[in-house]
Amino acid sequence: MDRLISQQAAIDALCKRCDLAAEDDEPCTEKCNDIKILEKLPSAKPKNTDCIYCHEDSDGYVKPIEKNCHAFIRFGMDGWEISLSAKGWNGSAKIMYCPMCGRKLKNDK
């Protein structure tokens, strides 16, 4: 099972149990090899491959953001956009990120 954790939270947890910090006023991060290893690890970002709002289902549809289909994300003529409609009015705005999961939307579908 892959679990994502905050790098800073892991460093803070190590520092809380670290004896090096108690020796003097210098932060243990300067002396602790475990923390140096954690600081070198690459950032882990969650893969938002299962967002029902910006990924199509097997039939090619996405779930509307609003239950009556008045707001949804789609890939339009000029790239990704959020489409809105209300009382006969329709509009859309280009977007770069999914407003529901935060995934960066690429210009190619």
pLDDT in tens, 3-30: 667 777 777 777 776 665 555 555 565 6
Structural tokens at position 80 = 């990704």
| Rounded distance between C-alpha atoms, residue 70 and residue 15, angstroms | 50
pLDDT in tens, 55-67: 888 887 888 887 7
Backbone φ, ψ for residue 91 (5° rounding): -155, 165
Q: How many CB atoms lie within 10 A of CB 56?
A: 13
* Mean of pLDDT over the chain: 77
Structural tokens at position 51 = 């967002």
Residue 38 pLDDT more than 80? no
Structural tokens at position 94 = 């280009």
- Asked whether 15 and 23 are in contact (CB, 8 A), the reply is no
Q: How many CB atoms lie within 10 A of CB 69?
A: 11
Structural tokens at position 7 = 């790098």
Give the domain ranges of the chain.
Answer: 7-40, 47-109
